[in-house]
Amino acid sequence: MDVIWVVLIAIGALVAGVALGFFIARKYMMNYLKKNPPINEQMLRTLMMQMGQKPSQKKINQMMRAMNNQTGK
């Protein structure tokens, strides 16, 4: 009978640990993305201007589409 309780407590602790780990990781990623947002059109336009290119909207859209396809969105 004692073995059953030990197994149940171990399974309960495992489930609680997984749930707690998920929520901590989610909170961490939300804070990380808030501090370091993914690249957007304005950032891409600024980057291209710094590299000496004159960005057209067509080129911006093309690069954004290529980056989104690469990341799997």
Average pLDDT along the chain, 73 residues, taken 10 residues at a time: 93 98 96 85 90 90 86 61
Total domains in the fold of the chain:
2
For 71, what's the count of Cα atoms within 13 Å in the CB-facing half-sphere? 8
31 lies in the same domain as 1: yes
Helix, strand or coil, per DSSP, at residue 10: helix
What is the domain extent for residue 23?
1-36
> Looking at the whole model, is its pTM more than 0.85?
no
3 lies in the same domain as 31: yes
2 lies in the same domain as 32: yes
